[in-house]
Structure 1
Amino acid sequence: MARSGVTADGLTRAALELADEVGATAVTLSALARRFGVATPSLYAHVAGLDALRTRMAVAALREMADLARDAIGGRAGADALAALAGAYRDFARAHPGRYDASTFPVDPATAAGSAGPEHAAFVRAALRGFALGAEDQVHAVRLFGSLVAGFVALERAGAFGHSEPAPELSWERCLASLDALVRSWTPTPEEHP
């Protein structure tokens, strides 16, 4: 019988809230037990351990991000869709830094395949439909998009842009415009590889 309202879903929600407060890697079972007013061992009736909790956190954070991303690109195409999607991820990282970090916790291949993770690549592919890219080039463009967003967000969160002008927002806009220009002028991958 669950004590103090402890459930696996409740632990996951509380872990994500705590992650936003103290950082995803600082979330521990003992800290969660204190939040619920229970002994740490009692949590093992709901999660197998910290790794299992982190998997649940990653899956939940990916789902939250996917819901926001879907809403962001709805009815948009091309550069507008790419900018809206990138903005949704950046906004999520700003509003929920712990959840954003939790979304990158490693999970096993089966869990990854069943999570919202594949939806994220599908959203980028949907935004890229207006560009003339073959299947392999789409994969490269999806990776480029992810790298640009993750890199910019990581540097911004670390305070790397806080000591110089112009404002980071202007750099963000230039990065997105450059991404659009790059994808529009993409050199197709040769059909045969060496």
Structure 2
Amino acid sequence: MASRPGVNRTIIAQTAGELADQIGLEKLTLSLVASHLGVRTPSLYNHIEGLDDLRRELSLHGMQELDRRLQRAALGKAGDQAVCAMLQAYRAFAKERPGVYASTLHAPGNDDEPLRSASQAIIDTVLTVLKPYNLNPDDAIHIVRGFRAIGHGFATLEVANAFGMALEEEESYHRLIATFLLGLNRVSESNLRPNREQA
């Protein structure tokens, strides 16, 4: 089998991501990646240390892509409109790139600074959009977790074809977001109320 020119760590990760989206992350193997790249499996070790290293690289690329999508979704928007747009972007990413998305779900270890930075960048993007709500630090993190749970949970159920009733899923997601925003705004108002009373 002829070696494909230009194979590097980034191209290997991109190919692995495409395969993971098609067949599932758990079925991804180095031999499959090598076959799609037109190289022998041992050739991959010139660029990666093994399957765990490949999955780590895939996770890094996935986190960076998710963060870019969230930032693009929020661009030019603020408040509820920005949160809604980001939740739509989160759901779309999880559905469109299920294998890559699956690689991003585990919290990175303390010793992996690039992964930790990529993970924190996503959190920071959401926190930036939440600033106008005047949340205290603990409330903000709880809201970020809720944000992630909504996007992840709904998309995961959709990918698994778990919604069997004859109701529009898009409408259900809009209502879920609306309910989340009601709670978010209530927390925001409760944080602002003492300041108003003092004034």
Asked if Structure 1 and Structure 2 have the same fold, meaning a TM-score greater than 0.5 normalized by the shorter chain, the answer is: yes
* Alignment match of 1:137 (pick from 132, 136, 139): 139
- 1:4 is matched with which residue? 4
TM-score by length of 2: 0.86
The residue identity in structure 2 corresponding to 1:129 is: K
* Alignment match of 1:151 (pick from 153, 160, 179): 153
Moved more, 70-79 or 51-60: 70-79
Moved more, 6-15 or 34-43: 34-43
- 1:96 is matched with which residue? 97
- 1:192 is matched with which residue? none
Change (3 A) 1:106 1:26: farther
TM-score by length of 1: 0.88
Q: Which runs of 4+ in 1 moved over 4 A?
A: none
Moved more, 53-62 or 145-154: 145-154
Deviation of 1:128 after TM superposition, in Å, equals 1.5
C-alpha RMSD over aligned residues = 1.6
3-state DSSP of counterpart to 2:133: coil
* Deviation readout 1:34-92 (Å, 9 max, x if unpaired): 11232212211110000100010000111111111111101211111111001111111
Q: What aligned pairs does 1:1-194 form with structure 2 within 5 A after superposition?
A: 3-5=3-5, 6-105=7-106, 107-109=108-110, 110-115=113-118, 117-161=119-163, 163-186=164-187
* Deviation readout 1:95-141 (Å, 9 max, x if unpaired): 222222122255433232232x2121112112222223111111111
* Structure showing the higher helix proportion among its residues: 2
